[in-house]
Structure 1
Amino acid sequence: MAFFSQSAARAADFSHLQQASVEFRDATKRYGDNRVLNGINLRVNPGEVVAILGPSGSGKSTLIRLINQLEPLSEGEIYIDGKPTRGLSGRALRALRSRVGFVFQQFNLYAHLTALENVTLALTHVHGLKPQAATARALGLLAQVGLQDKAGELPAQLSGGQQQRVAIARALASEPQIILFDEPTSALDPEMIGEVLFVMKTLAHSGITMIVVTHEMQFAREIADRVVFIDGGEILEQAPPQQFFSAPAHPRAQRFLQKVLDPLHLERKDLA
C-alpha cells in the first residue's frame, strides 16, 4: 500500500482557500428528552485549526454536524462570519454547505462512481461547471492528495486511506471556507491512518478553517491551534495543545488523558 508521498505533499497547494469564523452561542441539541449538547459557547477564528476531543458519546460529532445543518439546532444559534445559519433551507442551505466542507467517518463515496466522478459530481450538478472544467479541477485536487493515478478506479478498488483522501478532495472541490472532519481516521486500519493525517497536516494553516473531531492525540498535539475538550454535552476545557496535554485543568480531562495516553494504567473502579 503506497502512502501519500513527500513529493505529492510538496506539490499540494491550498493557499487560495479562504477563511471564515464559526461561533456557537448557547447552542443546544436535544433528541426528545435527551439533551446531547447543553448551551455550547465557542468561537473558532478564521484559519484556525481546532481539535475537538472527548470520550465516546460526549456530543463531539453532533457539535460539528450542527454547523452545516446535518443536524438541526434545538436552541441557540450558530454564526458563520457573523451571519446566523439556523433554519436555512433551499438555495440558502446549499450555499452554506458549499462554504462548509464535511469529511465523514465512513467516507460516504458513491460506490458506482469512480474517484474522479465522486469529486466532479457536485461541481457539475450543484455548481454548474462544464464537464471539462470540473474534470480539470477534480484531477488537480486528486493530485494534491496523491491520487491522480487512481482517478478512474471505483471506491471498492481503493484502500480505506485512499477512499478517505478522495473524500477530502471532494470536500475541497467547492473551495469551502471551513472544513469539518468527523473522526476521519476511525474507520481505517492503523497502517492507513498516517496517509490521511498527512493530507490534513498539509491542509492545516494553509488558508482554511478546520474543526476536527478526532481520537488522534498526536495530530491534536502537533497540528491544532487549540484543543476543545467536551464531555456530557458541555465544553469543560479549552487550551493550546501544549498546555492541555501537559497540564489539563479539569479533572475529567485529566482522567481522559490518563486513559488515552496510558491505557494500561487503570484503576479497579474503571473496570467495574
Structure 2
Amino acid sequence: MFRILGVLAGFLILGILGSILGFLLGGFIDRFRTPGSGRMNAFSAARRQSVFLETVFTLMGKLAKVDGRVSETEIAHVEQFMRKLGMTHDHRLKAIALFKRGASPMFDIKPKVAEFMTVCGYSGNLRQMLLVYLIIMGMSDGRLNASEVQLLKEIAGYLGYSRTSFDRLLDMVLNQTHFAGGQATSANALEDAYKALGVSERSSDREIKHAYRKLMSQYHPDKLMGQGLPEEMISVATEQAKEVQAAYDLIKKHREQSRATA
C-alpha cells in the first residue's frame, strides 16, 4: 500500500525520479509496518512465534492436569509433539518447564491468554490454531472428559469465541481426527465428513465447497507462517488440512455416485 502512495506522491512532487524514490521508500515502510497491519518485521515475527509456543505448552500443561493427574498418554503426546517440532535439547527443556508450570494447581491462565491476545490475537487463524492444538492434546487419550471440555470453553471465551462458535469448532476438529492420515477411520465416515467441514447432508454443493475452501485457507502453511505461526508447528496444520481434504473428497465422491445412479 505504501509503495503505491509513495509512487503517487513522488510523481506529483519530483516527476519520474520522485516516483522511483517513492516506490523504494514505500517498500521500506511496508516491510516494517506495525503488528497486525500486514507484513511483519523480524522482531515482530520472533515475538509472535515465541508467545505462541509459550502459550501452547503452558495451556497443554493446564489441560493435562485439569482432571487431577497428568496421564502417561498425555506425557507421551507432548513428547511426540516436541519430536515432531524438531526441538533442540535446550528448547525441549524450556517446553517441559512451561508444561509443568501450566500443570501447577495454582497457575492462572488469564495472564498468559491475555499476553497471547495482545501479541497474536489480531489473527483469527492463530486463535483457531491454538484451540486446535489444545483439542488434539485433550484427545490424546482417546476422548475429552467434562473437565477438559470446560477448560477449553473457558480458554475459547478468553480468545473471543462464543459458546456456539466454539462448540462448532470442537465438533469439526473431533470429526476431522476421524480422517487421520488422509483416510477415513470410522464406520460412519460420511456423517463424520459432513461434520468435519461444518456442513450437513442438506447443504448444497456450493456451501460445501465454500466450507472446504475456507478450512483449507485457514490451515494453509504460508498464510499461517505469515501471520506468526512458528515454522516447526506447521506440520500439525498440514495434517489437519489432509483430514479436511479426505473428508471433502469422500463427500464429493458420494454425491457424484448418487447422481450417477439416480
Q: Give the TM-score range, shorter chain.
A: under 0.3
Considering fraction of residues, name the structure with more strand.
1
Look at both structures and tell me which one has the larger radius of gyration over its CA atoms: 2
Considering fraction of residues, name the structure with more helix.
2
Q: Which has the higher contact order (CA 8 A, sep 6+)?
A: 1
TM-score w.r.t. length of structure 2: 0.28
